[in-house]
Chain A
Amino acid sequence: EVQLVESGGGLVQPGGSLRLSCAASGFSFSSYWMHWVRQVPGKGLVWVSRLYTDGSRTSYADSVEGRFTISRDNAANTVYLQMNSLRADDTAVYYCGRGARDDFYIDSWGQGTLVTVSS
């Protein structure tokens, strides 16, 4: 069974940093693209970033480009999202997701971790 478990969320001040983790199990982690998606409670889904299997290719939403960095440790079956220069509008639940094999959608989602940016 595919499992994705996010951690690292919490309260951070504007301008601060936070690193999210997503521990994966139940599948061959190093064979899949991984994504981060966020959702303000009560609002819509917003795609944030994705990372290739070996970490060599990344892409980001314009709203986080230059501030967020996605990375992975295939030995630890974990994907990360380093978030710097956080703003109030980064407040959201952050989900990690597994990219479907050889396709362009997210086929499994974690339960999410809440990030609150506030003074």
Chain B
Amino acid sequence: QSALTQAASVSGSPGQSITVSCTGTSSDVGRYDYVSWYQQHPGKVPKVIIYDVYKRPSGISNRFSGSKSGNTASLTISGLQAEDEADYYCSSFTIGSTYVFGTGTTVTVL
């Protein structure tokens, strides 16, 4: 149950698009379309922003989108805004019927 691999930080200017990657294995990300993404602002609890690879919960901006190719999932934030500055975590269901989170990526808006 090793953590999924994410870049420690990604940054972009307001209005730009950025992509956060999440690399797992054939036992988790590559096996199931049950990848979710969580946003966590400092001092706050996590909030799901993408589930089942690309689906958005009600109320989540369509600036957030998800995709997957092989063992790597991606979160794209388009039209970057100051309020998007936060930590982002991917998560996947695994072959062992457990879950695993990514190492987390801090998104900075320049």
Contacts and interface: CB of A to CB of B under 8 A. Distances in A.
Task: Note whether A and B form a binding pair.
Answer: yes
Contacts, number: 66
B48 A105 contact: yes
B70 to A, nearest CB: 19
Contact of B46 (A45, A50, A63, A104): A45
B64 interface: no
Interface string B27-63: 0000010101010100001111001100001000000
Contacts of A32: none
A72 B35 CA distance: 26
Interface string A46-65: 11001000000001111100
A44 B103 contact: yes
B89 A105 contact: no
A40 B58 CA distance: 29
Given A45-B101, A47-B98, A104-B34, A61 B1 contact: yes
Interface stretch (A7-15, A18-26, A109-117): A109-117
A100 B58 CA distance: 13
Interface in A93-112: 95, 100, 103-107, 109-112
Contact-residue size bin, chain B (C-beta under 8 Å from the other chain)? 20 to 34
Contacts of B98: 47, 50, 59-61
Contacts of A105: 34, 36, 48, 51-52, 91
B24 interface: no
B7 to A, nearest CB: 13
Given A61-B98, A104-B36, A111-B45, 18 more contacts: A37-B101, A44-B101, A45-B38, A45-B40, A46-B101, A47-B91, A47-B100, A61-B1, A103-B51, A104-B32, A104-B51, A104-B99, A106-B46, A106-B48, A106-B91, A107-B48, A109-B47, A110-B45
Interface of A: 35, 37, 43-47, 50, 59-63, 95, 100, 103-107, 109-112
Interface of B: 1, 3, 32, 34, 36, 38, 40, 45-48, 51-52, 57, 89, 91, 93, 96-104
